[in-house]
Amino acid sequence: MTQLALVIDLNVCVGCHACVTSCKEWNTSGIAGYLSDDNPYGAEPTGTFFNRVQTFEVGQYPDTQTVHFPKSCLHCEEPPCVPVCPTGASYKRPEDGIVLVDYDKCIGCKYCSWACPYGARELDEHQKVMKKCTLCVDRIYDESIPKTERKPACVNACPTSARLFGDVHDSESEVSRAIREQGGYALMPEWGTKPANHYLPRRRIEVTIHDDELVRVDNPLKKEIDVGPSGPVREQTLDDITSW
């Protein structure tokens, strides 16, 4: 059985939000319909987004790193949002594993959002229905689009290729290899939802900085600077050159 999903590499995501804006642009004009965003900056901000990027500082000062964490519907293989829906509006497609919402059946009761442990469901303020990531189902099967571009809008927009898309049940797919070879993991497996989307972990990079790399070539303060074991040295300044 096919299970389409995203694999996100946290090591190369730079938090540019290209995935956020491209997602909203495509889906507003697609099957998702209007995505309200009337009060994004108030004391109690509201707005409908399928994809959000959260930024965290991890570690203990001064040894800290910034992590950008994209978050959207994980298209769980055992989605808890589906069985709690009283009208059957939330459903999982058997042919590709994508979890969707039928707006004609949705009554906006929010049961699905309460059941989702990942906070991936949002109520549209105008249509009063629950909305979520569709994996751009209206794009990935559109034969009028070049085959190389039949991917979710967020995948095509990512400038660092931090987002991969494919069938995680196909052991030879790009996403499956990335999960297998780079230690990909699913969020909160203890909930038993079996998220299809995976993340590739941060790989710590040690950078060696030599003493002389911390010295400015122009030495604006014209001070003697201790450089390595050779003791204090005075860097040549522009004044020294022009006084020759």
CA atoms of 45 and 173, how far apart (whole Å)? 39
Q: Which pLDDT score, from 0 to 100, does residue 204 have?
A: 66
In this structure, the chain runs to a length of 244
Q: Which pLDDT score, from 0 to 100, does residue 94 have?
A: 96
No. of helices (H) and no. of strands (E), the chain:
6, 11
Mark whether 149 and 99 lie in a shared domain. yes
Q: Which pLDDT score, from 0 to 100, does residue 235 have?
A: 45
Mark whether 234 and 157 lie in a shared domain. no
Number of domains in the chain: 2
Mark whether 137 and 17 lie in a shared domain. yes
Residue 212 — pLDDT band, cuts 50, 70, 90?
Answer: low
Domain annotation covers residue 23: yes
**22: its two tokens:** 């491209």
Q: Which pLDDT score, from 0 to 100, does residue 241 have?
A: 37
Residues 1-58: tens digit of each pLDDT:
899 999 999 999 999 999 999 998 898 876 666 777 777 777 887 788 899 999 999 8
Domain annotation covers residue 210: no
Mark whether 127 and 228 lie in a shared domain. no
Dihedral of the CA atoms 102, 108, 113, 115 (nearest 10)?
Answer: -80
Residue span of the structural domain in which 228 resides:
216-242
User: Torsion-angle region of residue 47: left (phi > 0), alpha (psi -120 to 50) or beta?
Assistant: left
Mark whether 56 and 138 lie in a shared domain. yes
Cis check: omega of the bond before 79, within 30 degrees of 0 = no
pTM for the model: 0.80
Residues 113-160: tens digit of each pLDDT:
999 999 999 888 888 999 999 999 999 999 999 999 999 999 999 999
Residue % of the chain over a pLDDT of 70: 82
* Lowest-pLDDT choice from 26-30, 55-59, 205-209, 240-244: 240-244
Mark whether 126 and 168 lie in a shared domain. yes
* Lowest-pLDDT choice from 98-102, 232-236, 240-244: 240-244
CA atoms of 139 and 131, how far apart (whole Å)? 17
Domain annotation covers residue 211: no
Residues 147-203: tens digit of each pLDDT:
999 999 999 999 999 999 999 999 999 999 999 999 999 999 999 999 999 999 987
Mark whether 11 and 45 lie in a shared domain. yes
Mark whether 147 and 116 lie in a shared domain. yes
Mark whether 109 and 166 lie in a shared domain. yes
| CA terminus-to-terminus distance, the chain | 79
Mark whether 113 and 229 lie in a shared domain. no
Q: What is the CATH number of the domain that holds 100?
A: 3.30.70.20
CB neighbourhood size of 3 (10 A): 19
Helices (H), 35-136: 111-115
Domain annotation covers residue 83: yes
Contact (Cβ atoms closer than 8 angstroms) between residue 99 and residue 89: no
Handedness of CA 115, 121, 125, 128 (dihedral sign): negative
CA 134 to chain centre: 15
Contacts of 29 (CB under 8 A, 6+ apart): none
Domain annotation covers residue 209: no
Domain annotation covers residue 196: yes
**110: its two tokens:** 């929010």
Mark whether 125 and 231 lie in a shared domain. no
Domain annotation covers residue 206: no
